[in-house]
Amino acid sequence: MRFGVLGPLAVWTSDGDAVTIPGLKVRALLVDLLVHEGHPVSMDRLVDDLWGNEPPGNPAGALQVRVSQLRKALEDAEPGGKNLVVSRAPG
């Protein structure tokens, strides 16, 4: 999979097909992860980056929903795509 972040977010499969990432928050999550590629990004940091001073009532749950949506979009586009988003235990 290839990603473009200069200008609007763009995602392509390895065959060059465009991939649609649904939802503004899901696209923002992907950009945030791409900017920090190769480095863990804390849940607190992601929540702050996505919602700023107006986090949802259940920030961890809302973030998990967005992560699941991102993994689904990547997997639907290309088998194994969901594995590009890796979770680690805090600490």
The per-residue pLDDT for range 21-80, each reduced to its tens digit, is 999 999 999 999 999 999 999 999 999 999 999 999 999 999 999 999 999 999 999 999
89, pLDDT greater than 90 = no
pTM of the model: 0.93
Contacting residues for 14 by C-beta, under 8 A, at least 6 apart? 1, 2, 78
Q: What does the alpha-carbon distance between residue 89 and residue 38 come to, in Å, rounded to a whole number?
A: 16
So what's the pLDDT on residue 88?
85
pLDDT confidence of 90, banded at 50, 70, 90?
confident
So what's the pLDDT on residue 22?
95
Q: Domain 22-84: give its CATH code.
A: 1.10.10.10
